[in-house]
A and B are shown apart, each in its own frame.
Chain A
Amino acid sequence: QVQLQQSGPGLVKPSQTLSLTCAISGDSVSSNSAAWNWIRQSPSRGLEWLGRTYYRSKWYNDYAVSVKSRITINPDTSKNQFSLQLKSVTPEDTALYYCVREGTISTFGYWGRGTLVTVSS
């Protein structure tokens, strides 16, 4: 059974960098059949896909256009985890952030418990 354990601060100041980590158990970040995503949810934006990292003989990343200039998602094979960094945050980045395993045909079958991140001074 796949489990995703999120960690990171719940409060970030405007203009700083939001950093979250998702530790994987029951699967490998290097799996050839999965992808590792970050999705956020807020009342104003609903469920918003931010991006993913995945391994298919080499590492790939896909990012949402809305955050492409500010986002980095990195795998950490030594710790079997992946991370999210979102630079230059504003209050509009306040949301519940989920790490999510994507399986075949882009089904989101396993979700972390979510981290509420508030951007405020």
Chain B
Amino acid sequence: DIQMTQSPSSLSASVGDRVTITCRASQSISSYVNWYQQKPGKAPNLLIYAASSLQSGVPSRFSGSGSGTDFTLTISSLQPEDFATYYCQQSYTTPIAFGQGTRLEIK
């Protein structure tokens, strides 16, 4: 099975900061990574698919990159509504797996 390891597990940042979250797959998965944002009491929301494609309606300050085993989610300028938990997910093969999450908190 493919494991997804995110880092850091938590992160404190300020409005306007540039933030990068990393996800590493236990084996090569080409570009089959999706990223989600989850706010308290809500289901996860798709942000990025296929490693770097922005889901419709998602602000352009979100971007994704990577291929193979190493992937990143970047928020170029943090807004107050971006403080949430972020998850990566591999869509290369079953069983589908998620990273453990990165909690982004206000500094």
Contact = CB atoms under 8 A, between A and B. Distances in A.
Interface of A: 37, 46-49, 62, 64-65, 98, 105-109, 111-114
B19 interface: no
B34 A108 contact: yes
Interface in B90-105: 91, 94-101
B44 interface: yes
Contact of A46 (B32, B50, B101): B101
Contact of B50 (A37, A105, A112, A114): A105
Classify the interface of chain B: helix, strand, loop or mixed: loop
Nearest to B92: A106
Interface of B: 1, 32, 34, 36, 43-44, 46, 49-50, 55, 87, 89, 91, 94-101
Nearest to A106: B91
A117 B70 CA distance: 35
A108 B95 contact: no
A49 B32 CA distance: 16
